[in-house]
Amino acid sequence: MGRVSDATTQSPTAPGSTVHPADAPDAPWWRHAVIYQVYPRSWADADGDGMGDLPGITARLPYLRDLGVDAIWLSPFYVSPMNDAGYDVADYRDIDPRFGTLADADAMVETAHGLGLKVLVDIVPNHTSSEHAWFREALASPPGSPERDRYLFREGRGPNGERPPNNWPSVFGGRGWSRVTEADGTPGQWYLHLFDVTQPDLNWDNPEVRAEFESVLRFWCDRGVDGFRVDVAHGLVKREGLPDWHGRVGLYDEVVTEEGPEDGDAPGTDTDVLDHTATSSSPMWDQDGVHQIYREWRAVLDSYGEPDRILCAEAWVKPESRLALYVRPDEMHQAFNFDFLESPWDAAALRAVVESSVRVNDGVGAPTTWVLSNHDVVRHASRLGLDQSLPRPNGITAEDPQPDAGLGLRRARAATALMLALPGGAYLYQGEELGLPEHTTMPDEFRQDPTFHHTNGEVAGRDGCRVPMPWTKDSPSFGFGPGGTPWLPQPQAYGDLAVDQQDGVPGSTLELYRSLLALRRRHRLGRSVLAWDERCSDSVVAFRATADDGSSVLVVTNLGPDALTLPAAEVLVTSGPLDDGRLPTDTTVWLRSTDA
């Protein structure tokens, strides 16, 4: 296996020197694409049942063309009991009736392509739903059968097998194993589920599992999709023997205890949760064996020829050098840069993560894939309004410290303006172009995230970032659908942020995103040379992005308390108003620069 140096240990490149070279003018689309994540349950509801659907998405696609993105990624729309909002798939080749039909999916892809938008779908290979035909067959078959071998069934420990096979907790809280009742009514084997009890982990050592997923990839490629976002890409292969684990227990950064569970024991408390981020010792994450799977998948996609169809890894892996292994030339095309998402709002931290990310990715010839929000994290308009010295929370409830909404939005706009000037690709999460905050006061009875329930409400979970989109202020459900109650309640504040309130309004967040995306395209920023500018300091991030025609954009983000004097140059866009020509705190400017 190729080794990649750990760029975080290197010192920052001096101002003026190149951090990252230009990408080829004919580089494939995905190396600099901006991809918009549609969360199908919450984007647009055509049939009025309170849940978004494919016809709703299709009808709203012109909005995305006008926004200026290159592609969309849709979270799962497959047949599912929806115990994890569709990340529990019962049939990978059909659409859940709540979202529509296969014909609706075909129409959505065709309409998107007609508008010049590519389409990525989600593939969930770490686990199926317990309602998948395979798992039903496994339950109906005896221990040691080929049907059970598609999953990770094991005998329990203890004289009567009454203790789980190892001590792994679940990411959603509680133990990572459940015991089944055998056909004769006796307590039987245990199966592994790193997520919900209804999401049994697949056995990727089984060739049948590998063949099945290659077939699923082909199924969707044959229907015209342009790629796949690969769910939990770092989880498929487990360390041989499934050894006990002594790492940190926590969801994302929500550390519950620093101590792992006892050997061979269930987790210490019911609310223990498994950390989603791989560390070098995790026996369930980031095993070297995953890479062979993605090499095989790459070959499947490449067999479809031009234009490239892509794979994007959702892999919570540290350090960056480990993540870069997923985007080597014969593996995936992109991997979300969660280190960037997790960076505190701090100039030195942002600069360090930008530089180390592009360095490690350049080392394997891959673009960097920037992201600030998605359906699993607190929206960045709220996250950046929290105390930056504290860990990133997994959801916010009314009892928690509330974000400073004004500060959060101001920083979010500055952060996005910084991100969209960087070389590589970027993902946007639906509604961030409206500056939507997290719903931080959602009453508990509406919360659906399994994390909230498995931790007895101790961890709020992800519902607050999944609330339906506001399209028009003065309509029921803010125009999300023609009627019905949306599946999650919308906060009142969403009314003033609705699309119709921002469309064409100078200075609105929607118009800011439109300007940023148009200018990014015009100046080919996704393919540009990156060099730090001498204005970089403890409180300023500043860089030049130079296109292949020599034109250069100077990007400055001021994180310090005092307004910054700017050089005389044409202002292309600012994330907020300038103060008498100077750059105020928490603001980013793009300047047309001639002295590059």
Q: What size, in residues, is the chain? A: 596
Identify whether 486 is preceded by a cis peptide bond (ω within 30 of 0).
Answer: no
Q: Which of 122, 231, 275, 342 is catalytic?
A: 231
Question: Measured between alpha carbons, how far is 162 from 177 in angstroms, rounded to an integer?
Answer: 11
The sign of the CA dihedral 356, 228, 92, 292 is negative
Comparing CB distances to ligand GLC, the nearer of 371 and 566 is 371
- The answer to whether the beta carbons of residues 315 and 231 sit under 8 Å apart is no
Question: Measured between alpha carbons, how far is 86 from 91 in angstroms, rounded to an integer?
Answer: 11
Comparing CB distances to ligand GLC, the nearer of 226 and 231 is 231
Which of 73, 92, 191, 195 is close enough to bind ligand GLC by CB under 6 A?
195
Q: Which of 45, 314, 320, 433 is catalytic?
A: 314
Q: Where are the alpha helices (DSSP H) in 68-168?
A: 102-114, 133-139
Question: Measured between alpha carbons, how far is 361 from 334 in angstroms, rounded to an integer?
Answer: 10
586 binds ligand GLC (CB under 6 A): no
Candidates 552, 558, 313, 566; CA nearest to 421 is: 552
- DSSP category for residue 236: S
Give the shortest CB-127-to-ligand GLC separation in angstroms: 7
- The answer to whether the beta carbons of residues 69 and 510 sit under 8 Å apart is no
Give the shortest CB-232-to-ligand GLC separation in angstroms: 5
Comparing CB distances to ligand GLC, the nearer of 129 and 490 is 129
Give the shortest CB-503-to-ligand GLC separation in angstroms: 30
Residue 472 phi, psi dihedral angles, 5° rounding = -135, 135
Give the shortest CB-216-to-ligand GLC separation in angstroms: 15
Question: Measured between alpha carbons, how far is 525 from 527 in angstroms, rounded to an integer?
Answer: 5
Comparing CB distances to ligand GLC, the nearer of 439 and 535 is 439
User: Which tokens go with 267?
Assistant: 């987790």
Which of 7, 61, 108, 124 is close enough to bind ligand GLC by CB under 6 A?
124
Residue 342 bears catalytic tag: no
Give the shortest CB-461-to-ligand GLC separation in angstroms: 10
Comparing CB distances to ligand GLC, the nearer of 194 and 517 is 194
342 binds ligand GLC (CB under 6 A): no
Segment 518-577, which members bind ligand GLC (CB under 6 A)? Answer: none
Segment 390-419, which members bind ligand GLC (CB under 6 A)? Answer: none
331 binds ligand GLC (CB under 6 A): no
N- to C-terminal Cα separation, the chain: 39
Comparing CB distances to ligand GLC, the nearer of 173 and 584 is 173
Question: Measured between alpha carbons, how far is 28 from 451 in angstroms, rounded to an integer?
Answer: 39
Q: For the beta carbon of residue 549, count every other beta carbon within 10 angstroms.
A: 9
User: Which tokens go with 287?
Assistant: 């095993």
Comparing CB distances to ligand GLC, the nearer of 376 and 463 is 376
Segment 66-85, which members bind ligand GLC (CB under 6 A)? Answer: 84
User: Which tokens go with 77?
Assistant: 């729309």
- The answer to whether the beta carbons of residues 495 and 478 sit under 8 Å apart is yes
Binding mask 147-186 for ligand GLC (x = CB under 6 A): ----------------------------------------
- The answer to whether the beta carbons of residues 235 and 377 sit under 8 Å apart is no
Residue type, 549: D
Comparing CB distances to ligand GLC, the nearer of 88 and 272 is 88
Which of 226, 286, 376, 433 is close enough to bind ligand GLC by CB under 6 A?
376
Q: Residue 55 CA to chain centroid, in angstroms?
A: 24
Give the shortest CB-124-to-ligand GLC separation in angstroms: 6
Question: Measured between alpha carbons, how far is 322 from 103 in angstroms, rounded to an integer?
Answer: 40
- The answer to whether the beta carbons of residues 333 and 424 sit under 8 Å apart is no
User: Nearest 5 degrees, angle CA 246-CA 383-CA 544?
Assistant: 105
Residue 400 bears catalytic tag: no
273 binds ligand GLC (CB under 6 A): no
- The answer to whether the beta carbons of residues 490 and 476 sit under 8 Å apart is no
Give the shortest CB-376-to-ligand GLC separation in angstroms: 5
Question: Measured between alpha carbons, how far is 500 from 529 in angstroms, rounded to an integer?
Answer: 37
Comparing CB distances to ligand GLC, the nearer of 375 and 413 is 375
Give the shortest CB-199-to-ligand GLC separation in angstroms: 6
Give the shortest CB-457-to-ligand GLC separation in angstroms: 18
Binding mask 223-262 for ligand GLC (x = CB under 6 A): --------xx------------------------------
User: Which tokens go with 34?
Assistant: 């901006």
- The answer to whether the beta carbons of residues 300 and 218 sit under 8 Å apart is yes
320 binds ligand GLC (CB under 6 A): no
Cβ-proximal residue to ligand GLC, closest one: 87
The sign of the CA dihedral 82, 86, 89, 92 is positive
Enumerate the active-site residues. Answer: 231, 314
Which residues are near ligand GLC by CB under 6 A?
84, 87, 124, 195, 231-232, 314, 375-376
